[in-house]
A = this chain, B = another copy of it.
Amino acid sequence: MIKQDIPDIIVSRLPIYLRALRHMQALGKLTTSSQELGATVGISAAQIRKDLSQFGEFGKQGTGYDIAFLIDQLREILKIQRVWNVAVIGMGDMGHALSRYQGFSDRGFRVMMVFDNDPAKIGGQVGNFVVQDTKDIVAAIQSSGIKLAMLCVPAGAAQEVTNMLVTAGVKAILNYAPISLNVPAGVRVQYLDPSIGLQRMTYYLD
């Protein structure tokens, strides 16, 4: 049986739902409705029901969704019930911040190794990690089986490092470098360039 193809735009909303559900759970709530969840995340109730219905029937008429159950289901769908090891490349301020970020541990991720090409940084400590030489990326990542990387190198180095990551078997890159990356089919990139984020809003300002 062929697994049904879910539109990427639907998949991309699931982490938002999950984050809001965990927030509700932390507040002590036990159940919610598509109406309430939608108001929280700024998405219509109909769309939330439609999105979730792609993956199964998680609610009950009249009462809505059990929060703990829906959290479990979403974590399974997103494959974050396991813990994913991640590599961080580039130990500037941004890479440094991500290497020490406390927000990954309960959301499915763990930084496992960090890299830089600056001899002054290689061998030094960042957070709990010893900085490895960028030229060793392929060997180190390949043998560790890491599939996720966060890219925090300057724009001029980003494509070259990306090529190394792809060679090493990385399948998903969180890109902080201000450049569009070229990757083969089967490798995913999410872009988090802060300037792009700001430039998407200035259009609407006076």
Contacts and interface: CB of A to CB of B under 8 A. Distances in A.
A188 B204 contact: yes
B19 A80 contact: no
Interface string A180-200: 100000001010111111111
Interface string A59-100: 000000000000000000111100010100000111011101
Interface of A: 11-12, 14-16, 18-20, 23, 40-42, 77-80, 84, 86, 92-94, 96-98, 100-101, 103-104, 107-109, 147-148, 150, 155, 171-172, 174, 178-180, 188, 190, 192-205
Given A11-B204, A16-B196, A18-B199, 9 more contacts: A15-B200, A79-B205, A93-B96, A150-B194, A171-B205, A172-B202, A188-B204, A190-B201, A192-B192
Contacts of A79: 202-203, 205
Given A97-B96, A148-B198, A204 B172 contact: yes
Q: How many copies does the complex hold?
A: 2
A87 B23 CA distance: 26
A78 to B, nearest CB: 5
B19 A108 contact: no
